[in-house]
Amino acid sequence: ANENTGLQSQPPPEEQNYGATAAHLRQGPFVPVSRTAPAKSEYLIAAVLCYANLINFMDWFIVPGILLDIQKYFKLSDGGTGLLHTVFILCYMLAAPIFGYLGDRYNRKIILGAGIFLWSSVTLGSSFISELYYWLFYILRGLVGIGTASYSTIAPTIIADLFEEGKRTTMLSIFYIFIPVGSGLGYVLAAGMADVTGDWHWAFRVTPCMGGVALVLLILLVPHRTQRRTAAHRALSISGTIRVAAEKPGVHRTAKTTWCQDVISLAKNWSFVWSSLGLTAMAFVTGALGMWVPVFLYRAQVVQGIAPPCLHESCNSSNSLIFGGITTGTGILGVIAGAEAARRLRKINNKADPLICATSMFISALCLYIALVVAQTNILSTFIFIALGELFLSVNWAVVTDILLYVVTPRRQSTAIALQILVSHLLGDAGSPYLIGTISHAIQDKNAHSFQWSFWSLQYSFIVCAFIGVCGGAFFLLTSFYIEEDRKEAER
């Protein structure tokens, strides 16, 4: 590879090791080490990161869980309501590359702690805004996005460094289970607190307390320096020894590169490019569904005469509770099923991961289209097909991340994750809630104002999601053409 520039007597600062490992590495080119299972402390660190990831995504979906109340409180149109999530995602994705750069070069524990503190404190502040300052609510949602960007960018790389390849997939799967679980619990928490207290503001006052607990656990249990795996760590000989390339004549070490060089290298990695576009399609669909499905279901029920219109009293949150439960259940099943399918099929097909992702995207798009078609006549069938659509979307979460981690060299992984976050959110869920809301608002403006057209406007808007889901499946199919070559390149 063109990254090798020659022998260096000392490893770069970001590749230096600490503790016993460093002592062993300095002794000589062949040092026996025991290949033991991960220590309990490593599982404990992973547990803390998973707990924080749960809170992270609960904060994401508090707003959609009480969207009807927020829309009525601030007197927002469909377009203005969708803009709430767009502001959040824009700040999240613009901050991600900055944290990716910092995470590859500076102390990751400090960055994680600062992020948790920021998003927790700002979420708490969101609960004290009056209806006159709707613009301040937008600003605070943007700041929450910046705080969560630090966590989502860096936490997966710490888990990847804690575990070898076999355990890594399992632990990442567990970590990513908390995306749909946290998302679903965000709906449940928001709707539940609004129902219990009669005031939607209380929905923003629970997760900050949980965030405080996560911050304390991070400070107490996660080491100040988390060791990064490099090529030297992974080049294990058959006898269980580490080959130290820097001390063996004629063996090249990888040189420290600039951020621009990293980006150029990643842009030439077609597996990374196509899988990132596939993830972008997933994000587009997930963002639109997460924001608008409870409102869509409510409007469908009003048209069918099942639910009364929400005009003056507090809005019924039952759809958010049910959708939250569906998101949680399908998320757990989907991530577990995806990881297990990948584990089994990799044994017979080296392209299994992108093929699993492509198949699940095609099936998900079909299920979502059927849900839209039957929404006006059968609400139960709508729930079932939405659940199936979310199930097949969730299959991909851990698999896509695992693809990135084995087609990208370790020292570029934080940057790669940050760029993937930037692209997937810029072209995905940063715009999809606003786009769906704007299309819906435009359709309503051109027709008579009625509950029927209020429902139809969202129904027609959601057709975009089914089309984007099919495009996502095509991107993952393209990934399968390059994945074997790019994996070998990353291993070299």
Cβ-based neighbours of 397, under 8 Å, separated by 6 or more: 176, 179, 180, 334, 335, 338
pLDDT given at position 311: 64
Same domain, 43 and 162: yes
Does residue 352 sit in the same domain as residue 457? yes
Residue with tokens 């000589």: 28
What domain range is 307 assigned to?
269-491
Q: Are residues 227 and 325 both part of a single domain?
A: no
Indicate the residue among 180, 215, 238 that finishes a domain: 238
DSSP conformation letters of 21-55: HHHHHTT-SEEE---PPPPHHHHHHHHHHHHHHHH
Domain assignment present for 331: yes
What pLDDT, on a 0 to 100 scale, did the predictor assign at position 314?
62
**Same domain, yes or no: 327 and 282:** yes
The dihedral of CA 69, 72, 73, 74: what is its sign?
positive
User: Looking at the structure, do residues 341 and 479 belong to the same domain, yes or no?
Assistant: yes
CA 492 to chain centre: 28
Same domain, 295 and 394: yes
- The residue whose two tokens read 């849900």 is 371
The C-alpha atoms of residue 386 and residue 297 are separated, in whole angstroms, by 10
Domain count, the chain: 2
Do 293 and 437 fall into the same domain?
yes
Has residue 71 been placed in a domain? yes
| Helix, strand, coil abundance in the chain, percent, nearest 5 | 75, 0, 20
Domain membership flag for residue 13: no
Nearest alpha-carbon partner for 470 in 381, 333, 363: 363
Single residue among 221, 238, 255 that ends a domain in this structure: 238
Residue 254 included in any domain:
no
pLDDT recorded at residue 355: 94
The answer as to whether 248 is a domain residue is no
Among 183, 218, 238, give the residue marking a domain's end. 238
Nearest to 403 by CA among 353, 359, 477, 474: 353
Whether residue 143 is contained in a domain is answered as yes
Alpha-carbon gap, residue 72 to 310, rounded angstroms: 9
Q: Are residues 228 and 273 in the same domain?
A: no
Could you give the CA distance from residue 117 to residue 110 in angstroms, rounded to a whole number? 11
Q: What is the dihedral of CA 481, 487, 488, 489, to 10 degrees?
A: 100
Instruction: Please answer whether residues 459 and 296 qualify as being in contact, where contact means their C-beta atoms are separated by less than 8 angstroms.
Output: yes
Q: What is the CATH number of the domain that holds 152?
A: 1.20.1250.20
What is the rounded CA–CA span in Å between residue 424 and residue 107? Answer: 26
Number of Cβ atoms within 10 Å of the Cβ of 117: 17
Token pair in block for residue 112? 């994680």
Give, to the nearest 10 degrees, the angle between helix 207-221 and helix 40-60: 160
Assess if residue 2 is contained within a domain. no
Same structural domain for residues 52 and 188? yes
Q: Encode the chain (492 residues) as per-residue pLDDT tens digits.
A: 333 333 333 334 333 333 333 333 333 443 444 445 557 788 888 899 999 999 988 988 888 888 888 888 888 877 788 888 888 888 887 888 788 778 777 788 888 888 899 989 999 998 888 888 888 999 999 999 898 888 888 888 888 788 876 677 778 778 877 877 888 888 889 888 888 888 888 889 998 999 999 999 988 887 766 555 544 444 333 333 333 333 344 444 455 678 788 888 888 889 999 999 999 999 999 889 988 888 898 888 888 888 777 665 566 667 888 888 888 888 889 888 998 898 889 888 888 999 999 999 999 999 999 999 999 889 899 999 999 999 999 898 778 888 888 888 877 877 888 788 778 888 888 889 889 989 988 898 888 777 788 888 988 999 999 999 999 999 999 999 998 888 888 887
> Does residue 341 share a domain with residue 222?
no
Helices (H), 222-313: 231-234, 259-267, 270-304
Do 379 and 421 reside in the same domain of the chain? yes
Amino acid identity of residue 423, one-letter, is V
Same domain membership, residue 428 and residue 352: yes
User: In this structure, is residue 354 part of a structural domain?
Assistant: yes
